[in-house]
Structure 1
Amino acid sequence: MLKATFKTWVSKILLLATALFAVQNALADESPYGLTRQAAEKLFADIKANQPKIKQDPNYLKTIVRQDLMPYVHVNYAGSLVLGQYFKSTTPAQREQFFAAFDQFIVQAYAQALTMYSNQDIQVQPQQTVSDSQASVRVKLLQKGQEPLNLNFQWRKNSKTGKWQVYDMTAEGVSMVDTKKQEWSSILRKNGIDALTAQVQRAAAVPVSLGKK
């Protein structure tokens, strides 16, 4: 009798926990603003919690970026914007190889940029009305004794999954996608996408260094 009562009690607790989890998920803010806050909180909490590991192996920042940021990044769309007019002249296989290299490049670039983080506060702008498929979310990186660093994250709703994902970031008005498009266009024009993919692969393989501030 006692065992049966205990099992019933445990079952009710598990049922209640499952219901609360479902409600929590249902109430989760899946807007670009909510997702920006969630990603930032998780990212910087993990950086703070893993400082000893990062100091021992700076490349561990790549692992954090991969886990905390890349699920939110629309790599293929960003990559297609970087390729611009040259996109149509590439084969599906070439694009797949470039997108894979570009994915690794983004991880390396963000990991290296995050070596400059030193417990600054992050301020995400209040919720704004967004269109059905595009949104821009402004984030301020508050720095002691300095002007805030203004970042804008460009979000787009993935037409296949229906999920919001980032495809570009601007820092003080400078777009990462536009910068790379301009930087890499001459390589595409002169040597083609295979040469660009090889160069992006080399850049992605550069180790993260804490000395680069």
Structure 2
Amino acid sequence: MKSLLLRSFALVLALVSSAAMAKTDVDKSNPYVMVEQVAQITFDRLAKQEADIRANPELLKDVVREELMPYIFYQYAGLKVLGNYAKQASQQERRDFVAAFREYLITSYAQVFTLYDRQAVVFQPAKDFANKKIVMVPVDIIDEQRPPINLQFKVRKNSKSNQWQAFDLVAEGVSLLDAKQKELRSILAQNGVPEVTQMLIEKSKRPIVFKDENDTDASKNAQVQE
């Protein structure tokens, strides 16, 4: 399930990135419009850089860093993962964790992007989001090799900018952030925030590997990034 969550999260988050190379304006005032507007832009960039990425998979980290992270509310997501431990940590420890969490996400999504093979995406009809702070955007990923993946993409309205940003994904009823929080709970309890921060830093340094190049290494990489 964790593998499905991470894979689904990365593929759908690709839909909410901006193509800085194309200098395209994206309407971040509407979560549904934002997702649909940038979908083709993102897939076009991945397609155009496919040869270069195959030659140097580390370029996927640049794609995620430049195109994806501006649309991810990683600060909010990171603190949600910490939960009550955020209150126990010092301000500096929280800052260090959020920074490490951001780099961890970059590497995690980049690794999962090696699985991307131009899957079809179906957007569900938009609903009224007036006066809402959090909206679930339903998206279906259609893959001929497996049953459709039904997802609910969680976006939150930033109270400072009034723009929508992604922070979580629910796949088959399971929240990615909830799963990550449960995974880290025992480590946080036993070793504290600094230890988990260092663990995320080390995981973020792992190289990106295409599965068809080295099945064993790629499989290990995908597991540890989860």
TM-score (normalised: structure 1)? 0.83
Q: How many angstroms apart in 2 are the aligned matches of 1:185 and 1:29?
A: 33
Unaligned runs of 5+ in 2: 1-23, 212-217, 220-226
Match of 1:137 in 2: 137
Q: How many angstroms apart in 1 are the aligned matches of 2:49 and 2:175?
A: 29
RMSD: 1.8
Higher relative contact order (CA 8 A, sep 6+): 2
Match of 1:106 in 2: 105
Q: Supply the AA of the counterpart residue of 1:150.
A: N
User: Larger radius of gyration, structure 1 or 2?
Assistant: 1
How far apart are 1:98 and its partner, in Å?
0.4
How far apart are 1:49 and its partner, in Å?
0.7
Q: How many angstroms apart in 2 are the aligned matches of 1:209 and 1:95?
A: 30
Q: 1:172-187, aligned counterparts within 5 Å?
A: 172-187=172-187
Alignment partner of 1:77 is 2:44: no
Match of 2:224 in 1: none
Match of 2:164 in 1: 164
Q: How many angstroms apart in 2 are the aligned matches of 1:67 and 1:41?
A: 17
Q: How many angstroms apart in 1 are the aligned matches of 2:81 and 2:145?
A: 36
Bigger drift between 58-67 and 187-196 goes to: 58-67
Bigger drift between 122-131 and 134-143 goes to: 122-131
**Aligned partner of residue 148 in structure 1, secondary structure:** strand
Match of 1:124 in 2: 123
Bigger drift between 171-180 and 77-86 goes to: 171-180
**Aligned partner of residue 128 in structure 1, secondary structure:** coil
Q: How many angstroms apart in 2 are the aligned matches of 1:145 and 1:200?
A: 32
Identity %: 34
How far apart are 1:41 and its partner, in Å?
2.2
Unaligned runs of 5+ in 1: 1-23
Bigger drift between 50-59 and 39-48 goes to: 39-48
How far apart are 1:145 and its partner, in Å?
4.5
Match of 1:33 in 2: 32
**Aligned partner of residue 86 in structure 2, secondary structure:** helix
Match of 1:199 in 2: 199
Bigger drift between 123-132 and 199-208 goes to: 123-132
How far apart are 1:80 and its partner, in Å?
0.9
Q: Supply the AA of the counterpart residue of 2:160.
A: K
Bigger drift between 63-72 and 184-193 goes to: 63-72
Contact 2:28 2:163 in 1 (8 A): no
Match of 2:58 in 1: 59
Contact 2:27 2:34 in 1 (8 A): no
Q: How many angstroms apart in 2 are the aligned matches of 1:98 and 1:67?
A: 21
Q: How many angstroms apart in 2 are the aligned matches of 1:184 and 1:146?
A: 30
Match of 2:114 in 1: 115
Cα distance per residue 1:98-118 (max 9 Å; x no partner): 000000111111111111111
